[in-house]
Amino acid sequence: MLRRQAYLIALGTLMMLLVSLWVSTMGGSIRTTQAGHVGGNVSGLSPAQQVDPTPPPALEVGLTEYEISMPTSLSAGVHSFDVANNGESEHNLVFDGQGLEIELAEDLDPGQDQNIQVYLRPGTYAVYCPVGNHREQGMEIELTVEEPEEEPDGTDGVTGSDVTEEPTEEPTEEPTEEPNGGSY
């Protein structure tokens, strides 16, 4: 009996590890819930991208019957979207492109909102509502994500007022006199 329990525990642990590995290789997401929201999720973030604890400013997304109101062009990086169902029926939102397919944690009833944070790589994404036949009825937009622009002066966003160069003085060697006039 004890041997069978140990076998079942080991088998269960192995299955959990295999499922975890499978989810992570399929671009799995981490579901989170934020105060005041139904839920949210973060997807596609490498450890280097997760270092900054400051959330990006949220972009407003409005869902109504067969229309999505949001920007159609963004720069690559982590984006936070506050998605609000301003319509009369249930809606959801999917980002599909560049190897990513992620949607809100739950469908939104009328009046509900939810936050989602997504790492968007450069390229084109289909953003649509997967509920019923909403996508076929025109509830889809094309989102273009471009590389972040570099500043024209090549400073990558560092302006002249942010950079101060202190003049550096080269140390000069002054002749030193040896004690006793140089003789020992």
- Alpha carbon of 131 to those of 60, 68, 143, 168: distances in Å? 20, 13, 19, 65
**Domains recognised in the chain with CATH numbers:** 30-151 (2.60.40.420)
Residues 9, 3: Cα–Cα separation, whole Å: 10
pLDDT at 30: 39
Compute the average pLDDT of residues 43-66: 72
pLDDT at position 15 is 73
According to the per-residue pLDDT averaged within each range, which of 22-26, 46-50, 51-55, 102-106 is highest? 102-106
Q: Can you give the pLDDT at residue 8?
A: 76
Dihedral of alpha carbons 106, 54, 100, 65, sign = positive
Segment 106-126 mean pLDDT: 97
Q: Which pLDDT does position 49 carry in this prediction?
A: 47
